[in-house]
Amino acid sequence: MFILLAAIFILHIACITLLLAATIHNAWWMTDTVSTDIWARWILIGGKWNYTHIPAHYPQEYLQAVQASSVLACIFCILGLFVFVAQLYTLPKGKRFLFSGTFQLLACLCMIIAASIYTDIFHKDEHDGWYGASFILAWISVCLTFILCVTYFILRKKTAA
């Protein structure tokens, strides 16, 4: 059981890392000369990437929803890790991983909301770019946090310590 708990801990750290990378890194939408994330836009001028603000034509309320959902996903995942460790020592078997699974489910849902809004609202009419690594990491983190959530809910039923 110790190896299983260690593997879950490592998977949880991987989920946190992917969520943070997807939220912070500047590659949600890419072209040859522009890199856009949920916080700013970077333009390649003279071989150097220059910071600029997000264009005014981006719907600000949707952008703020994507930003807030991404940050909340990170917070819920980090809280889930702390709750996981605390539950190992405080709760009886059968109730042990319920709160951790709930935090992971919330993190998964928040990142689904962020990535879905970004997919539906932004860059619909742009055909010369592609979704970047951060966008892909966001969807990978959705899958991993959901797998971790299901794992917590399955482990809740286990009786072995």
**pLDDT digit string (tens) for 34-70?**
999 899 999 999 999 999 998 888 899 999 999 999 9
Does the residue 161 lie in any domain? no
What is the spatial distance between Cα 29 and Cα 66, in angstroms, rounded to a whole number?
14
Does the residue 37 lie in any domain? no
Does the residue 46 lie in any domain? no
Query: pLDDT-derived band of residue 93, with 50, 70 and 90 as boundaries?
Result: low
Query: pLDDT-derived band of residue 92, with 50, 70 and 90 as boundaries?
Result: low
**Averaging pLDDT over each range in 96-105, 109-118, 123-132, which range is the top one?**
109-118
Does the residue 127 lie in any domain? yes
Does the residue 9 lie in any domain? yes
Contacts of 134 (CB under 8 A, 6+ apart): 21, 22, 23, 25, 26, 27, 28, 37
Does the residue 34 lie in any domain? no
Does the residue 15 lie in any domain? yes
CATH number for the domain harbouring residue 72:
1.20.140.150
Beta bridge partners of 42: 35, 51
Q: Which domain holds residue 107?
A: 2-29+59-155
Does the residue 80 lie in any domain? yes
Total domains in the fold of the chain: 1
